Copies of this chain bind each other. A is one copy, B any other.
Amino acid sequence: MTTVHERARPAAEVLEWGRATVDPAMREAVGALPDPVRHIAGYHFGWWDATGQPSEPTGKALRPTLTLLACQAVGGDVEAAVPAAVAVELVHDFSLLHDDVMDGDRTRRHRPTAWTVFGTGPAILTGDVLLTLAVELVAAAGPHARILTSAVLDLLGGQNADTSFEQRDDVTLSECVAMAVGKTGALLRVSCTLGALAGGATPDQVARLGLFGEHLGLAFQHVDDLLGIWGDPAATGKPVHSDLLNRKKSLPVVAALTSGTPAGDELASFYFAQPEFDPARAAALVEQAGGRDWSRERAAQLLRQALDTLNVAAPDTTATGELTALARMAVDRTH
Q: Which residues of B contact A34 (CB under 8 A)?
A: 157, 160-161
CB distance from A200 to the nearest CB of B (A): 20
Q: Which of A128, A156, A163 has the most CB of B within 10 A?
A: A128
Residue on B nearest A156 in the bound complex, by CB? B129
Count of interface residues, chain A, beta-carbon cutoff 8 Å: 38
Q: Give A232 to B129 CA distance when docked, in angstroms.
A: 35
Q: Which residues of B contact A124 (CB under 8 A)?
A: 98, 101-102, 124
Chain A 128-157 per-residue mask, 1 if CB under 8 angstroms from chain B, else 0 = 110111011001100101100110110011
Instruction: Say if the beta carbon of A2 comes within 8 Å of chain B.
Output: no
Instruction: Say if the beta carbon of A103 comes within 8 Å of chain B.
Output: yes
Residue on B nearest A133 in the bound complex, by CB? B153
State the oligomeric state as a number of copies: 2
Q: Give A133 to B146 CA distance when docked, in angstroms.
A: 10
Take A35-B164, A36-B164, A131-B128 as given contacts and tell me if A121 and B149 are in contact as well, using a CB distance cutoff of 8 Å. Answer: no
Q: Are A149 and B139 in contact (CB under 8 A)?
A: yes
Q: Which residues of B contact A80 (CB under 8 A)?
A: none
Q: Are B150 and A136 in contact (CB under 8 A)?
A: yes
Q: Are B125 and A159 in contact (CB under 8 A)?
A: yes
Q: Give A121 to B100 CA distance when docked, in angstroms.
A: 10
Q: Are B36 and A160 in contact (CB under 8 A)?
A: yes
Name 15 interchain pairs, CB-CB below 8 A, sorted by A. A36-B164, A37-B157, A37-B160, A98-B128, A101-B120, A102-B121, A120-B120, A125-B159, A129-B160, A132-B149, A132-B153, A133-B149, A133-B153, A143-B143, A145-B146
List A residues at the B interface (Cβ < 8 Å): 33-37, 98, 101-103, 120-122, 124-125, 127-129, 131-133, 135-136, 139-140, 143, 145-146, 149-150, 152-153, 156-157, 159-161, 163-164
